[in-house]
Amino acid sequence: MEGPRLSGIGMTSARTRERLVQRLQDQGIKDQRVLDRIRNVPRHLFMDEALASRAYEDTALPIGFGQTISQPYIVARMTEALLAAGPTPKVLEIGTGCGYQTAILAPLVEEIYTIERISSLLGKARRTLRELRIRNVHCRHEDGSVGWPARAPYDAILLTAAPVAVPPALFEQLSVGGRLIAPVGPEGRQELIRYTRGETKIRQEVLGAVSFVPLLSGLQR
């Protein structure tokens, strides 16, 4: 039986979620697996109750600590871009945040290794993912710029915060043929880029302009 946080309230109605999915389709999201996850993951669980009535708007919202839960379109776009090249068994996520992007992606891959530098955020994300019975996610409190080398190589790496340039350590942890999806650039001039690692060089493809919080180094409680 669903607990009170999962129970049906007006703002989580099927009609409200369907409007969001339709909007994402209108903006060009085509992967039905991704659209189904947007439809079925209860986004309101990943934010404070005070903002829950806005959970199914296509907008980024604050989650504390100077961080945001990403706009659903951006989550869908990044997930679709990551999955586009075929099966992606093992993924490294840099910036767990509240865990919403993690929850969207989790059933579409085999394993996710996710890193968050803010301990309090990571604790909340863990609890929400556990509540949703998502069990293929491995969490670590760490500086995202160093990655998680002990679990490398990864078939894909996803950054949910923007570095001015992608840390070299992350490319080193990407398998040959693997993809890295990241917002890159200084505030106000960021682009979403898909990098593909080849045998001798890394190819990059610009997917569009975006606006993300910066990727910061160091740990925070």
Total residues belonging to the chain: 221
Predicted confidence (pLDDT) at residue 1 exceeds the cutoff of 70: no
Region 134-161: what's the mean pLDDT?
A: 97
pTM (two decimals): 0.92
Please compute the mean of the pLDDT values over residues 86-113 and round it to a whole number.
96
Side-chain-side CA neighbours of residue 220 (13 Å): 15
Structure tokens given for 103: 């929850």
Structure tokens of 12? 């989580």
- What is the residue extent of each domain of the chain? 10-210
Whose tokens are 């490398």? That residue is: 152
φ and ψ at 156, to 5 degrees? -155, 150
Q: Token pair for residue 106?
A: 């989790």
Give catalytic residues, as residue numbers. 70
Homologous superfamily of domain range 10-210: Vaccinia Virus protein VP39 (3.40.50.150)
Q: Which amino acid is at 87?
A: P
pLDDT at 7 over 60: no
AA letter at 35: L
What's the number of CA atoms in the CB half-sphere (13 Å) around residue 93? 32
76, 84 contact by CB (below 8 A): no
- Residue 189 in contact with residue 167, Cβ under 8 Å? no
Q: Is the pLDDT of residue 2 over 60?
A: no
Residue 20 in this model has a pLDDT that exceeds 80:
yes
Give phi and psi for 75, each to the nearest 5. -60, -45
